[in-house]
Amino acid sequence: MQDRELPPQPRFDLTGQVALVTGAARGLGAACAVALAQAGADVVLGLRDAGRDDGPASAIRALGRRALPLQMDITRAEEISRAVAEAERAFGRIDILVNNAGIGPPNPAEKVTEADFDHTVAVNLKGTFFVSQAVGRVMLRQRSGKIVILSSQAGFVALPTESVYCMTKAGLVHLTRCLAVEWGPHGINVNGVAPTFIRTPGTAKWLEDDAFRNDLLSRIPLGRVGEPVDVTGAVVFLASPAASLITGATLLIDGGFTAR
C-alpha cells in the first residue's frame, strides 16, 4: 500500500529567529524572553535600567541562544531608536517583537492627577506605539515579522481604581487591529494577549492579601490565579509559523473572567 503524503503540520519552532522583548528585566517580560529562547530564538532584552540588571540574559545563554541586553526606557524616544538600531546591527534583523512593558498603578478616578495620567499613557500607549513603529520599520524592510502586544483583561472589563490603566489597555486592543490592517499586506502579523492577574514578583503583595485573592478567584471560573507559563505559551504560539494566518486578534488568557 502506497504511503500517503501527510498534510502540512503546524510549526512552533523559532530557530533562527530574533526576538525583541520590552520590559524584559523580570516578571512576564523575563518569562516571555526565556520562553522564546527555549523555542529557538535569539533574544534582545529591552531594559529600563540596563546598567543595573541584564534581565534573564544568563538563562537565555544557558539554553545555547544569544542574548543582547539593551538600555530601552520606552518613554524615551531616543532610547527606543538607539536600541532598535543596535539590535538590527547586532543580528541583522528583528523577526519578533513582544511589547510587554507597561504599568498599572491603582488610583481612584477622582484622585488621578495629570502627572499620573500622563505617565501611564506614556508607558502603556505612547511607548508601545513608538516601539512598534521603530521595529515595524525594520520588519517592513524585511517584508516579514510578528508583533505581540500585551494588553490585559482590563482592556475588556471595567476594574475599580484602574480607569486609566483600563483605558490604555483597551487602546492597545484597537492599536493591535490598526497595525494588523496597515502592515498585513507587508507580511507582518500583529496580535495581542490579554491576561488576567498573573502570579509574578510584582503582584505578590496583592495575592498575599486574603480578601483580594478570594475576591479575584471568585470571578475566575477556572478557579486559579494565572502563572507566567499560561501567558508565555500564547506568546510563543503567536510568534510562531503556526499562527501565520492570525492577525488583528487579542487572545484572552483570563480563566473565563470576562466570559461571566
Active site annotation includes 14:
no
Residue-wise burial string across 64-77, b where 16 or more C-beta atoms lie within 10 A, e elsewhere: ebebbbbebbbebe
In angstroms, the CA 168 to CA 214 distance is 26
Contact 184, 170 (CB under 8 A): no
Q: List, in sequence order, every residue forming a beta bridge with 188; answer none if it has no partner.
A: 145
Which one, of 22, 168, 188, lies nearest residue 105 by Cα?
168
φ/ψ of 182, rounded to 5, equals -75, -40
Q: Which of 120, 122, 103 is nearest to 112 (CA)?
A: 120
CA distance 123 to 30: 18
CA angle 179, 148, 172 (to 5 degrees): 55
Alpha-carbon torsion, ordered 34, 142, 70, 178, to 10 deg: -80
**Strand segments (E) across the chain:** 18-22, 42-47, 67-71, 96-99, 145-150, 188-195, 250-253
Instruction: List the catalytic residue out of 165, 183, 197, 257.
Output: 165
Cα separation, 101 vs 110, whole angstroms? 26
Q: Which three cell numbers stand for residue 78?
A: 531616543
**Residue whose C-alpha cell is 475588556:** 156
Catalytic (active-site) positions = 165
